[in-house]
Amino acid sequence: MKCVCLVVPKEKAEKVRQKLIEEDLLIRKAKIERDEKYVYFPVKEKVEIRGCYLIEKDFEEIERKSYVDILKEKGIDIDSISIDFIGDIAIIRLINDSYAREVAEALMEANKHVKAVYLDRGVKEDYRVRDLQHIAGEEKKETLHVEYGVKIKLDVTKVYFSPRLAAERMRVAKQIEEGSIVVDMFAGVAPFSLIIAKYAMPKRIYAIDKNPYAIKYARENVRINEMENIIEVIEGDAKEIVPKLPEANHIIMNLPHKSFEFLPLAIRKGKILHYYEILERDSIEKRMEEIKALGRKEGYSIDIKNVRVVGSYSPAKQRVGMEIYVRK
Ligand SMILES: C[S@@+](CC[C@H](N)C(=O)[O-])C[C@H]1O[C@@H](n2cnc3c(N)ncnc32)[C@H](O)[C@@H]1O
C-alpha cells in the first residue's frame, strides 16, 4: 500500500514511534521498515518532526485478524461484548462471563498494544470506581491514555474514567468562550478540564473531586500537560467547595446518578451548566420541567438546550446530556 512515510534517523526512532502512537498518526495496517540508518514509518498525515523528512512509499500490508475472527476459529460466537480501551488496558463487559478468558486472550492477540485485560463487574458508589477482575496479561493497573493529544494518567481500579465521553468533552470545549471561568464539579482525573484547557482559552478552571486518588492523578495530569497556570485541582466535596468559588461562566456536572441533588448549588453559581443525568427515556420531559421549577424557586429563569442521549446505561435508562442556561 502506498502512503506518506516519515523517515526517521535510527537513534530517534523509538521516541518518534511513541509520539506517533500517542497522537494516533501511525497506520497500523502497514509494516514499519528499517535499514542501517533510518526507520520508515507509515503515517496518516504529513507530520513535521525536526531531523526527519517525508516521502511517498509502498509498504507491505499486514494481515490482522480481529478478536471476533480468532474466537470464531475457536468455535466461540460472542453476541454481546463491550470493550473500553484505556491506554494499554482493555476493560470488557460480557453477558456470559464464562468466556471471559478466551475473549481476553483473543483481544490481546488481535490488539498488540493491549497489555492487560480486566472484566468489568459494575461501578461502585460513591467515587464511581469500577469493580474489576484481572483476566489476562500483566497485572498492571496504571496506564497513560491519550485523548485528542492530551495525556491522561490513571489507575483503572481506583478512579472513574470513560474513554466513551471523548467526543462529549470536545463538544463542551468548543462552547467555552475566551476568558471564561469554568468549574468542573466532579472532575475525576480531570479529562474535561484538560481538553478544555487545550482546545479553548479559559481564564481559569477549577477541577473538584472528593476521591483522593482522582485528585492525585488530576494533579499529575495537569503537570504532565503543563497546564498549571490554567487548571486548579481542589480536593473535597463539591457542596462545600463550589460556594467559595467565583461566579462561573460554565459548570460541568458529570455525576449522572446524583447531579440533580447538586443543581441548586450550580444554578446559584453558574451561567451555563453542562448537565448529565441517567434518566428513563420517558422521564426526560418531566425532569426538564423540574429543573425549570427549581430555577424559579431559586429566583432565576432557566432555558434548556441541546437535550441529547450521550450513551446507553441499561435497556430502560440512558445517559442524557443537556445545557442549562441560567438567567440571573
Ligand atoms: C462519573 S465520575 C466523572 C469523572 C470525570 N468528570 C470524567 O468525565 O471522567 C464522577 C466523579 O465525581 C466524584 N464525586 C462524587 N461525589 C462528589 C462530591 N460530592 N464532590 C466532589 N466530587 C464527587 C467521584 O469521585 C468521581 O470521580
DSSP string for 268-305:
HHEEEEEEEEEEEGGGHHHHHHHHHHHHHHHT-EEEEE
Kindly state whether residue 249 falls inside one of the protein's structural domains. Answer: yes
**Reported confidence tier of residue 277, pLDDT bands at 50, 70, 90:** very high
For 221-274, the DSSP string reads HHHHTT-TTTEEEEES-HHHHGGGSPPEEEEEE--TTTHHHHHHHHHHHEEEEE
* pLDDT mean over 45-73: 89
pLDDT at 53 over 80: yes
Max avg pLDDT among 9-18, 56-65, 100-109, 206-215: 206-215
Percent of the chain at pLDDT > 70 equals 100
H-type helices in the chain, by residue range? 13-22, 67-73, 100-110, 166-173, 191-199, 212-224, 238-241, 259-269, 284-298
**Reported confidence tier of residue 314, pLDDT bands at 50, 70, 90:** confident
The whole-angstrom separation of Cα 305 and Cα 308 is: 9
Residue among 147, 255, 310 to mutate when testing ligand 1 (max atoms within 8 A of CB): 255
Kindly state whether residue 256 falls inside one of the protein's structural domains. Answer: yes
pLDDT the model gives residue 323: 98
**Reported confidence tier of residue 104, pLDDT bands at 50, 70, 90:** very high
Residues 226 and 106 in one domain: no
Kindly state whether residue 148 falls inside one of the protein's structural domains. Answer: no
* pLDDT mean over 267-271: 97
Residues 128 and 196 in one domain: no
pLDDT the model gives residue 312: 81
User: 286: how many CB neighbours lie within 10 A of its CB?
Assistant: 11
Residue among 86, 209, 216, 274 to mutate when testing ligand 1 (max atoms within 8 A of CB): 209
pLDDT the model gives residue 327: 93
Q: Residue 78: give the domain boundaries.
A: 67-140
Residues 181 and 225 in one domain: yes
pLDDT the model gives residue 84: 93
The whole-angstrom separation of Cα 233 and Cα 16 is: 31
Q: Which atom of ligand 1 is nearest to the CA of 169?
A: 8
Tell me the one-letter amino acid at 295.
G
Between 142 and 66, residue with greater pLDDT: 142
pLDDT the model gives residue 18: 84
Largest separation between any pair of C-alpha atoms in the chain: 74
The whole-angstrom separation of Cα 40 and Cα 58 is: 11
pLDDT the model gives residue 171: 96
pLDDT the model gives residue 71: 87
Q: Whose CA is nearest to atom 4 of ligand 1?
A: 188
Residues 186 and 323 in one domain: yes
pLDDT at 124 over 80: no
